[in-house]
């Protein structure tokens, strides 16, 4: 039997593969035990700025209106009574993130790729283009799992060439690909199917006059081939891990565990998650 399907995993995503590579126990906790990892201000910031940029690109919003959209979205996600210093710091910097993201897209469209913005089809989940591909991890016909992802922005030019743009907001602009982002970008290129160029646009909160407020990275062939292979290898390892036991609690107890990784920052301990899930499972069985 397909080990993913046996454990209730119907599909993967680039982020779930990266989670397994970064912390296999976090992946087990999230996808096998159903633990919901917390989402903090950095994630809210990314979602809010992406919504703002979409409004500027497709709905005619000016920069101030787009920034207001980001602020409203951020406040909705954080809740009205959350005044933590880290939350307020991210909130205060939203305007600069939006300004620099807009400037980055202007440079992309004028200097990097001359094409037309493609609006996602009406009704598309998350308001984004979805891409996916089956990944084979064994020799048997059933040894495959779908990997699904969502594109932030898509461009096309008159030569029928596509470009994928993924927006990342970050306080520190990277000069090269991180393994996680490189794998994500490589998946997008392969899953799209039309050999698109893939760019990650990094926007920071730097003020006017500061150097490098944004950076545009293009996926190169060497990185693409390396990271696509790494993704396939990670999925094979996931499958082999799941074959070790039908019991997710056994897997949680058997895999190497490092709570110093960022996945576990501010979260319950793995032991607590396992015990609470066992208790809830037993209670549910008794109620039936």
Residue 13 lies in a domain: no
- Count Cβ atoms below 10 Å from residue 232 Cβ, excluding itself: 16
Residue 198 lies in a domain: yes
Residue 179 lies in a domain: yes
First to last CA, the chain: 27
Residue 216 CB burial class (10 angstroms; 0-12, 13-18, ≥19): middle
Residue 252 lies in a domain: no
For residues 126 and 263, give the distance between their C-alpha atoms in angstroms, rounded to a whole number.
Answer: 24
Instruction: List the beta bridge partners of residue 203.
Output: 169, 214
pLDDT exceeds cutoff 80 at 281: yes
Residue 84 lies in a domain: yes
Which of 97-101, 146-150, 157-161, 251-255 has the least mean pLDDT?
A: 157-161
For residues 93 and 145, give the distance between their C-alpha atoms in angstroms, rounded to a whole number.
Answer: 40
Instruction: List the beta bridge partners of residue 135.
Output: 145
Residue 35 lies in a domain: no
* Structure letter (DSSP) for residue 40: -
Residue 49: CA count within 13 A, CB half-sphere: 32
The whole-number pLDDT of residue 251 equals 97
Q: Which residue has the tokens 């992406």?
A: 50
For residues 218 and 210, give the distance between their C-alpha atoms in angstroms, rounded to a whole number.
Answer: 23
pLDDT in tens, 187-214: 999 999 889 999 999 999 999 888 899 9
Mean pLDDT of 254-277: 95
What is the span of the domain harbouring residue 67? 41-135+152-232
pLDDT in tens, 92-125: 999 999 999 999 999 999 999 999 999 987 655 5
Domains: count for the chain = 1
Model confidence at 126, in pLDDT bands (50, 70, 90)?
A: low
Mean pLDDT of 72-100: 91
Tokens of 127: 């308001």
Q: Helix 94-107 to helix 63-78 angle, to the nearest 10 degrees?
A: 130
Residue 115 lies in a domain: yes
Q: Are strands 162-169 and 197-203 parallel, antiparallel or unpaired?
A: parallel
Residue 24 lies in a domain: no
């Amino acid at each position: 039997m397909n080990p993913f399907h046996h454990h209730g995993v119907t599909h993967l995503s680039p982020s779930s593969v990266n989670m397994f590579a970064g912390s296999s126990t976090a992946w087990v906790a999230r996808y096998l035990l159903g633990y919901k990892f917390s989402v903090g201000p950095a994630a809210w910031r990314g979602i809010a700025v992406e919504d703002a940029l979409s409004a500027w690109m497709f709905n005619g919003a000016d920069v101030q209106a787009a920034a207001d959209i980001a602020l409203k979205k951020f406040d909705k996600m954080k809740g009205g009574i959350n005044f933590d210093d880290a939350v307020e710091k991210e909130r205060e910097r939203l305007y600069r993130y939006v300004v620099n993201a807009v400037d980055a897209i202007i440079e992309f469209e004028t200097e990097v790729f001359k094409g037309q913005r493609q609006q996602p089809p009406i009704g598309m989940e998350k308001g984004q283009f979805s891409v996916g591909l089956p990944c084979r991890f064994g020799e048997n016909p059933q040894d495959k799992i779908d990997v699904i992802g969502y594109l932030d922005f898509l461009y096309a030019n008159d030569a029928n060439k596509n470009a994928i743009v993924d927006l990342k907001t970050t306080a520190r602009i990277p000069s090269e690909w991180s393994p996680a982002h490189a794998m994500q970008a490589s998946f997008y290129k392969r899953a799209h199917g039309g050999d698109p160029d893939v760019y990650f646009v990094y926007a920071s909160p730097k003020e006017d006059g500061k150097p490098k407020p944004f950076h545009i990275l293009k996926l190169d062939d060497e990185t693409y081939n390396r990271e696509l292979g790494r993704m396939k290898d990670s999925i094979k390892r996931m499958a082999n891990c799941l074959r070790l036991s039908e019991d997710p609690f056994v897997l949680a107890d058997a895999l190497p565990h490092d709570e110093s990784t960022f996945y576990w920052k501010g979260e319950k301990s793995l032991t607590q998650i396992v015990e609470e899930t066992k208790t809830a499972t037993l209670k549910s069985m008794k109620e039936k």
